[in-house]
Amino acid sequence: MSGLTHFDAAGRAVMVDVGGKAETARTATARARVVMQPQTLRLIRGGGAAKGDVLGVARLAGIMAAKRTAELIPLCHPLPISAVEVALEPEGEDAVAISATVRTTGRTGVEMEALTAASIAALTVYDMCKAVDRGMRIEGVRVVAKSGGASGDFRQE
């Protein structure tokens, strides 16, 4: 494992210089899960949440968040994102599974954009349902796949 890239020799935080890297097609997928009471998921499935279409709004929030990642995370490079796909699906009786995939052609990866999309989609589900279920949990936020760049492909489930 190599050292941390966001620090200089003196230990100060720095933005990584990607100017010498080749532009390649890059993709990353992140996942998250929102666990809730079964009756909360029934409200979501039935369209009965007071704030409207929970999954549709959360999907849009995730897409918008991916595009603004560099504004949220101090050392992230602003990237020309070519695609963002966010999917939210009921899972079992008490959860919503979230998957976010981001694509670009560039000098650095889109893992942070995918993680941001999945996280913000999960937070939006929480926000829209907190009036009926304050005990919801956001779990398992992680990168499950990445491709492109010098470090090669990565996969985990």
In tens, the pLDDT along 63-74 reads 999 999 999 998
Look up tokens 């979230």; give the residue: 98
Among 15-19, 54-58, 100-104, the range scoring the smallest mean pLDDT is 15-19
Q: Kindly write down the DSSP assignment for every residue of 39-73, as one continuous string.
A: HHHHHHHHT--TTS-HHHHHHHHHHHHHHTHHHHS
Supply the mean pLDDT for the chain: 92
Q: Is the pLDDT higher at 34 or at 52?
A: 34
Let me know if 127 is a catalytic residue: yes
Which amino acid would we find at residue 29?
T
Active site residue: 8, 53, 94, 127, which one? 127
User: What three-state secondary structure class fits 88?
Assistant: strand
DSSP 4: P
Q: What is the mean pLDDT of residues 142-153?
A: 92
Cα dist from 47 to 43, 56, 101, 140, whole Å: 6, 11, 25, 25
pTM for the predicted model, two decimal places: 0.90
Q: What is the mean pLDDT of residues 129-155?
A: 95
Q: What is the mean pLDDT of residues 96-117?
A: 96
